[in-house]
Amino acid sequence: MLKNQKSVRAGIEDFLCPFTDMYITQGSNSRFSHKGIMANDVRGIQVGVRYAYYAPCTVKCLKTYPSSGQVMWQSTNKVRFANGRIDYATFMTAHDDSMNVQIGQIVQQGEQLGNMGTKGNATGVHCHIEVSQSADTSWIKNSEGNYHFNHEYDLDECYFVDNTNILNGMGGNWKTTDQVVVDEEADTSNQKNYVNLPPSINSWALYDVDVSPLKENAKATLNPEKFGGLSYYVYEYRDNGTTAVIETQQFGRGKIYIKDTVAKITVGSYQYQSGNQ
């Protein structure tokens, strides 16, 4: 993938290959340090260059391991993998010398996730990556002494290689998104009733469903800026269509005012990751 690349079909992000140039120096189940695990070590065009890599989908940082420049990431929603499965992605990246992510931080699909490096047990500049197609965060040592996830898949079953220049793909069956067809019409029919709060808003009142939407009645405040924008499914409209009833993760069900043109709130198809707040 390229920097800032996004791929969303039928409201679901395609899980993209985080590398712009991919030279695999050690593949899955290799006897060097990947015995029994489905990890890849990847470098870029030139040996020794700390190339950037990007978020394959919108992710949250769950854990960091500073001594090895290692991070455990998880998708904020279910994603589509190259084998067609739709599930959460939980994955590890390692060896980033300049790793500076904070636990809980959200990185949007296409934004920089890290840099290849040598931090920890690494013989040359690369990124070690392994992917689980589930929300299971168990990180377990196998009989060879190598750590792995449950539900790991080979990387050619995980990421789409749209705009990835494959320099050494180790014979993998790498797929692009056009090889996994999605019926956008069928799947989007229930995706068209979302309210989108743009990231330019840093404070938007949430009201209980049965009160008047007046400032003094607010029960909580949403912060779309913090999450790069927020989208919510609209259960119903209230107050002559000026408010929408939504379900928030943090504050439960409530309604928000949707008719403010200055705030550029839109109603239609899903625009931002939903369920972040």
- Residue 195's nearest CA partner among 249, 272, 261, 252 is 272
**Stretches 51-59, 123-131, 133-141, 226-234: which one binds Zn ion (CB under 5 A)?**
123-131
Query: Whose Cβ is closer to Zn ion: residue 24's or residue 39's?
Result: 39
Least Cβ distance, residue 95 to Zn ion (angstroms): 8
14 touches Zn ion by CB under 5 A: no
Query: Whose Cβ is closer to Zn ion: residue 92's or residue 195's?
Result: 92
Query: Whose Cβ is closer to Zn ion: residue 14's or residue 41's?
Result: 41
Which residue type is seen at 17? Answer: C
Query: CB neighbours of 178 closer than 8 A, spacing ≥ 6?
Result: none
DSSP H or E stretch at residue 61:
strand 59-65
Query: Whose Cβ is closer to Zn ion: residue 8's or residue 167's?
Result: 167
Least Cβ distance, residue 15 to Zn ion (angstroms): 20
Least Cβ distance, residue 116 to Zn ion (angstroms): 12
Query: Whose Cβ is closer to Zn ion: residue 169's or residue 198's?
Result: 169
**Stretches 68-76, 128-136, 193-201, 236-244: which one binds Zn ion (CB under 5 A)?**
128-136
Least Cβ distance, residue 118 to Zn ion (angstroms): 12
Query: Whose Cβ is closer to Zn ion: residue 24's or residue 55's?
Result: 24
Identify residues 132-191 at the interface with Zn ion (CB under 5 A): none
128 touches Zn ion by CB under 5 A: yes
**DSSP strand pairing (39-43 vs 127-132):** antiparallel
Query: Whose Cβ is closer to Zn ion: residue 123's or residue 150's?
Result: 123
DSSP H or E stretch at residue 14:
strand 12-14
Number of residues located near Zn ion, criterion CB under 5 A = 3
Least Cβ distance, residue 39 to Zn ion (angstroms): 5
- Residue 74's nearest CA partner among 2, 1, 137 is 137
Residue nearest to Zn ion (CB): 128
**Stretches 32-40, 45-53, 145-153, 179-187: which one binds Zn ion (CB under 5 A)?**
32-40
Least Cβ distance, residue 142 to Zn ion (angstroms): 14
Least Cβ distance, residue 64 to Zn ion (angstroms): 18
Choose, by CB under 5 A, the member of 1, 15, 22, 41 that binds Zn ion: 41
Interacting residues with Zn ion (CB under 5 A): 39, 41, 128
